[in-house]
Amino acid sequence: MNKVLFIFFLFSGIAFSQGKLELTYKVKSHGKPLEFDSTIEPEILPYLVSMEKQLEDLTFTLYIKGKESLWFLNNRDTYSTSHMGKAFAGNTTYYFDSNQNEYNTQEEFLGSLFLISKKPKEIKWELVDETKTILGYECKKAVYKVTKEINGETKEFVTEAWYCPKLKYKIGPQDFGGLDGLILELTDKRRRFYCAEILEGTETSLFVIEKPNKGKLIKEEEYMEEMRKIAIQRGLPHD
């Protein structure tokens, strides 16, 4: 092979591999055990406890290649529609194109698929002067606080993120992002997503990122109405 051509392919391969990441995330519940939450109706408590335990069945993958990324639940089709952990952790596939600054999501509800395009969440992160190491990467902390009125009582909900400035991707689990680095751990009210493995460059599988294309194309604001219609068709409770 011509030496110039060989050098070209060598450096092209290096550049290509540097733009690839493959991450595996796990999820588990956090916070106080549900058994000690007096606000939960005793009739539904066993279902909620089972739902949180089923979170440990799940693993998620985040593919990153250049300006594109894809977040999805592994082996999604192997879980039954009654798997409550899947519903609690989120069964949505998120495709993100940073050039377009737009998410394309594939939502599933009772076996029906929908395709939705939407802009990233507007999250007002507060940076915290704390660091910790995750899988050998130094990460920084950020929090996001939301206040809501529930049954006449004001409650504050905090989302906590640990992001890695070395990994220059402003994304993370699901559609959380907007920080100066990849989010390797994310904790909200009841769930904690945490990165269990990071593969870079040539360590990654030969994955291809494909924009989701299966499902009914609808607007984000139409999704709740579509779910309501399906619930009516199935004879399920609905508001």
Tell me which of 213 and 110 has the higher pLDDT.
Answer: 213
Q: In which band, very low, low, confident or very high, does the pLDDT at 71 lie, cut at 50, 70 and 90?
A: very high
Model-level pTM?
A: 0.79
180-194 average pLDDT score = 93
User: What tokens were used for 176?
Assistant: 């959380």
Predicted local distance difference test score (pLDDT) of residue 228: 84
| Gap between the Cα atoms of 48 and 221, Å rounded | 28
| Gap between the Cα atoms of 229 and 165, Å rounded | 44
Predicted local distance difference test score (pLDDT) of residue 16: 38
List, for residues 3-36, the tens digit of each pLDDT value: 544 333 333 443 334 489 999 999 988 765 555 4
| Gap between the Cα atoms of 14 and 201, Å rounded | 8
CB of 213 within 8 A of CB of 115?
A: yes
Predicted local distance difference test score (pLDDT) of residue 124: 93
Residue 2 has pLDDT above 90, yes or no: no
Q: HEC profile for 7-70?
A: HHHHHHHHHHHHCEEEEEEEEEECCCCHHHCCCCCCCCHHHHHHHHHHHHHCEEEEEEECCEEE
List, for residues 127-147, the tens digit of each pLDDT value: 999 999 999 999 999 999 988
Predicted local distance difference test score (pLDDT) of residue 42: 64
Map out the domains of the chain as residue ranges. Answer: 7-121+190-233
Predicted local distance difference test score (pLDDT) of residue 180: 96
Predicted local distance difference test score (pLDDT) of residue 88: 76
Which parts of 66-211 are beta strand (E)?
A: 68-73, 93-97, 102-109, 112-118, 126-134, 137-150, 153-164, 182-187, 191-200
CB of 48 within 8 A of CB of 34?
A: yes
Residue 44 has pLDDT above 70, yes or no: no
Q: Which whole-number Å values give the CA distances from 50 to 19, 24, 63, 84, in the listed order?
A: 40, 24, 30, 8
Predicted local distance difference test score (pLDDT) of residue 141: 98
226-236 average pLDDT score = 79
Tell me which of 142 and 230 has the higher pLDDT.
Answer: 142
| Gap between the Cα atoms of 69 and 171, Å rounded | 9
Q: Strand, coil or helix: what is 190?
A: coil
